[in-house]
Amino acid sequence: MPKIVNADDRRELVADAVFEVINRQGLAQASLRNVAERAGLALGSVRHYFENQAELMEFAFRVNSERIHLRALDRLEDLEQSALPQDAGALVEKCAVVLEELLPLDARSNAEAVVRTEFMLAARTDVGLRDAAQDDYRATGAVVGRVVLQLLESGLMAGAPEPVDVAERLIAVLDGLGLRMVLQPGWAGPEQGRATLRRHLRALLAA
């Protein structure tokens, strides 16, 4: 009896191979042939699931983005379903735990951040990746926006902040940290990333 292959599982297997190639050699080397070799599949098998390289790259971009944001959303649900602390330090910690899922703080998240960075840069000129890049940005904005709402609901934020402005600045901090940690890991390691994020969150709260 022939072995039944789950198409979704096989497509994710190929996406994982894309991620390995990008982390080892860069996006430019993620050809169908190189990806098939990394996945341990025949080139024809990869083409059975993806018509061309463009389709594969968009799929891989979306898988990478989804994995990052689903973990953040899991953390976010824990934050939203529990009582908000009235202590600024405790609130900062709860919010930081959510937002840390968007930073390259361990081997897995660093590999994902490398892939995300390569795809984001490619999307600047690659029309086929542009929609995926926009969806990635929206997903980040949704997570950050909901964290900002929790900060506002706590009553601990300083002044009368504009939520969109707070969210945009927080996204800028996360993007800057993530890029620096990917490109200059010797200067910006996980502990520095965690500390910088917390300092920014503390700065949003009233003394």
- In order of their start, the domains of the chain are 1-50 (1.10.10.60), 62-204 (1.10.357.10)
Instruction: Indicate whether 6 pLDDT > 90.
Output: no
Instruction: Indicate whether 195 pLDDT > 90.
Output: yes
Tens-digit pLDDT profile for residues 12-57: 999 999 999 999 999 999 999 999 999 999 999 999 999 999 999 9
* pLDDT range class, residue 5, cuts 50, 70, 90: low
Other Cβ atoms less than 10 A from the Cβ of 96: the count is: 19
Tens-digit pLDDT profile for residues 102-159: 999 999 999 999 999 999 999 999 999 999 999 999 999 999 999 999 999 999 998 8
> For the range 48-56, what are the long-range contacts, defined as Cβ-Cβ under 8 Å and sequence gap of 24 or more?
49/7, 49/10, 49/11, 49/14, 50/11, 50/14, 54/128, 56/14, 56/15, 56/18, 56/32
User: pTM (2 decimals)?
Assistant: 0.92
pLDDT given for residue 160 in this prediction: 84
pLDDT given for residue 7 in this prediction: 81
